[in-house]
């Protein structure tokens, strides 16, 4: 799925993220644990509008900076104890078209298909600085501040095909699809913290802020452009442990 110029550095980043996740999983699962599911709401701001107005979209609609992979309301799930949590998130954007051409007798002359797709996989580790209230606790509702860190990778996929193309034309279009994959792929890391007000039923509402640093690239014939974007991402959160 990550063949071509976007392959190596994304796969290396994913391996590093998985290794780091395995390191932090052990303390999170050391005590009695609960499943948790929640949403983060990041309001649309002037920076999003300025990004679009400046023509900074990838042209594929499914890259990390296009918004489809990271909508304002994002879902996460994972496991939590009173002091630690491991959270996973998933984003998916896919756009495909198929064009069929017929002759005067209704027979198929050619069939063309193309698609672009971005699959966003993320993981975060959260360390509570004050014990979080979990379902079944007799503790009174309380506010639990925490630190959080993690990362994500966008796995790209793209293809262009037409039954009427010659082998040379298909080779050119394969190169164009490789450029699409390079623009879609990205890796990012995030660190920050927040606080939650948690209740005995396991529900928590809170506010968090993360510094997000993302690396992406664009590859063409004879050139490669690497971009780094750093943003502060505030969000309102709602979590439910069970």
The answer for residues whose C-beta is within 8 angstroms of residue 35's C-beta and 6 or more apart is 77, 78, 79, 80, 241, 242
Is it the case that residue 29 has pLDDT exceeding 70? no
Which candidate, 163, 221, 185, places its Cα nearest to that of 58?
A: 185
Longest dimension (CA), the chain: 77
- Given a cut of 90, whether residue 70 has pLDDT beyond it is no
> How would residue 153 be classed by pLDDT, with cut points 50, 70 and 90?
very high
Q: Among residues of the chain, what percentage have pLDDT more than 90?
A: 57
pLDDT above 70: residue 27 = no
- List Cα–Cα distances, 241 to 28, 119, 128, in angstroms: 14, 26, 14
Residue (of 204, 227, 223, 203) closest to 215 by Cα position: 227
Confirm if 86 and 28 have CB atoms less than 8 A apart. yes
pLDDT tens digit sequence for 106-136:
889 899 999 999 999 999 999 999 999 998 8
pLDDT for the residue 194: 98
pTM for the model stands at 0.81
How far is the C-alpha of 116 from the C-alpha of 68, rounded, in Å? Answer: 12
Residue 219 in contact with residue 211, Cβ under 8 Å? no
Residue 45 has pLDDT above 60, yes or no: yes
Q: Does 59 score more than 90 pLDDT?
A: no
> What does the alpha-carbon distance between residue 78 and residue 85 come to, in Å, rounded to a whole number?
7
pLDDT tens digit string along 202-220? 899 999 999 999 998 777 6
Asked whether the beta carbons of 154 and 69 are under 8 A apart, the reply is yes
Residue 90 has pLDDT above 80, yes or no: yes
| Confidence label for 31 from pLDDT (cuts 50, 70 and 90) | low
Q: Which range among 16-25, 37-46, 137-146 shows the weakest confidence by mean pLDDT?
A: 16-25
């Amino acid at each position: 799925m990550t063949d071509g110029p976007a392959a190596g550095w994304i796969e290396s980043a994913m391996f590093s993220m998985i290794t780091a996740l395995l390191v932090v999983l052990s303390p999170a699962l050391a005590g009695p644990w609960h499943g948790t599911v929640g949403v983060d709401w990041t309001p649309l701001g002037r920076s999003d509008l300025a990004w679009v107005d400046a023509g900074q979209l990838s042209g594929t609609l499914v890259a990390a900076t296009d918004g489809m992979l990271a909508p304002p309301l994002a879902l996460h799930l994972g496991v939590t104890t009173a002091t630690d949590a491991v959270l996973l998130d998933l984003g998916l954007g896919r756009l495909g078209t198929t064009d069929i051409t017929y002759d005067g007798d209704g027979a198929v002359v050619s069939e063309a298909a193309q698609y672009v797709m971005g699959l966003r996989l993320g993981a975060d580790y959260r360390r509570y600085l004050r014990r979080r209230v979990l379902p079944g606790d007799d503790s009174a509702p309380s506010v639990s501040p925490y630190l959080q860190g993690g990362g994500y990778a966008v796995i790209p996929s793209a293809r262009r095909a037409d039954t009427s193309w010659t082998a040379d034309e298909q080779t050119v279009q394969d190169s164009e699809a490789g450029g699409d994959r390079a623009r879609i792929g990205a890796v990012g890391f995030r660190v920050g913290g927040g606080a939650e007000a948690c209740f005995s039923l396991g529900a928590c509402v809170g506010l968090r802020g993360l510094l997000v640093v993302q690396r992406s690239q664009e590859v063409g014939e004879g050139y490669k452009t690497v971009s780094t974007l750093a943003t502060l991402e505030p969000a309102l959160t709602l979590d439910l442990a069970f």
